[in-house]
């Protein structure tokens, strides 16, 4: 089939799909290799970008999905009676920690935040933004949490690598050290585990 036809097929699939469609899934659906499909999808993204529609083809959660443009959010919001969900600073802080530190236990998050986080984490779990990954092999076998695919969809992230790189703050003013970036992996080792022990003995 011609590329133009393939483009229209993919377009119709994105239009009709409920969740982001990955290249893997597209490959099964249209019976073409991922290598064949990738340039067509890229072209589609550009097409919708340049055509100036009220929506665009977004790359989220390992797939592709039509989304309305942010500029038109005030209008689209009127469609629904529900007010959009607002994240509390506590929820966002906790999400950030789980996203970068996963798999992470509740007590590790609490040590990082300095406050009890049980309620926040339960809410995030119920909203499906974080999920249980397993149990940590330490005394008490605490649950380990990580972020879900829904988390990526919710914040429009392609994958976890799409998260902003953690800034290495060597000074407190965030404006001062803009160039100073650090890998998430470099972050503070060990101390949450110390905390684990101390809570164990309490």
Partner 1 sequence: MAIEIRLEKFEGPLDLLLHLIKTNEMDIYDIPMVEITEQYLAVIDRMKQLNLDIAGEFLLMAATLIHIKSRLLLPVADEPGEEEEEADPRAELVRRLLEYQRYKEVARVLEDSSQLDRDVFVRHFSLPEYLGETDEEGDTVGIYQLTAAFHQLLKEASREVYHEVVREPLSVADHIQLVLGRLRESPRLAFRDVFPQRPARAELVVTFLALLELVKMRMIHLVQAERYGMIWLSLAVPADQRDVPALEEDSFGYG
**Count of residues that bind partner 1 according to CB under 8 A:** 58
CB of 106 to partner 1, least distance (A): 14
Residues numbered 144-163 forming contacts with partner 1, rule: CB under 8 A: 150, 153-157, 163
| Distance in angstroms (rounded) separating the CA atoms of residues 18 and 20 | 7
4 versus 16: smaller Cβ distance to partner 1: 16
3-state SS, residue 125: helix
Give the per-residue contact string, 87-126, with partner 1 (x = CB under 8 A; - = no). x-xx-xx-xxx-xx----------xxxxxx--------x-
Rounded distance between C-alpha atoms, residue 131 and residue 151, angstroms: 10
Is residue 124 within 8 Å of residue 130, measured between CB atoms? yes
Closest to partner 1 by CB, 39 vs 132, is: 132
Angle at 151 between CA 148 and CA 154, to 5 degrees: 150
Question: Count H helices, E strands: the chain?
Answer: 9, 5
Q: What angle do CA 82, 86, 89 make, to 5 degrees?
A: 170
Judged by CB under 8 A, does residue 176 bind partner 1?
Answer: no
Interaction site with partner 1 (CB under 8 A): 15, 18-19, 25, 58, 65-70, 73, 76-77, 79-80, 84-87, 89-90, 92-93, 95-97, 99-100, 111-116, 125, 128, 131-132, 150, 153-157, 163-164, 166-169, 171-174, 187-188, 191
């Amino acid at each position: 089939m011609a590329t133009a036809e393939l483009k229209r097929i993919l377009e119709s699939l994105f239009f009709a799909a409920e969740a982001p469609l990955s290249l893997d899934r597209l490959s099964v659906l249209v019976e073409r290799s991922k290598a064949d499909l990738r340039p067509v999808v890229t072209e589609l993204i550009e097409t919708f970008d340049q055509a100036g529609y009220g929506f665009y083809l977004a790359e989220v959660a390992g797939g592709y999905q039509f989304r309305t443009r942010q500029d038109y959010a005030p209008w689209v919001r009127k469609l629904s009676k529900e007010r959009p969900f607002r994240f509390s600073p506590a929820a966002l802080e906790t999400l950030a920690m789980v996203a970068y530190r996963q798999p992470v236990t509740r007590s590790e998050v609490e040590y990082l935040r300095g406050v009890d986080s049980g309620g926040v984490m339960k809410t995030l779990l119920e909203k499906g933004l974080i999920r249980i990954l397993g149990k940590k092999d330490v005394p008490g076998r605490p649950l380990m949490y990580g972020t879900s695919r829904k988390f990526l969809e919710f914040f429009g992230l392609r994958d976890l690598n799409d998260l902003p790189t953690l800034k290495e703050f060597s000074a407190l003013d965030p404006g001062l050290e803009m160039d100073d970036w650090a890998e998430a992996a470099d972050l503070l080792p060990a101390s949450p585990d110390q905390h684990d022990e101390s809570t164990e003995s309490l």
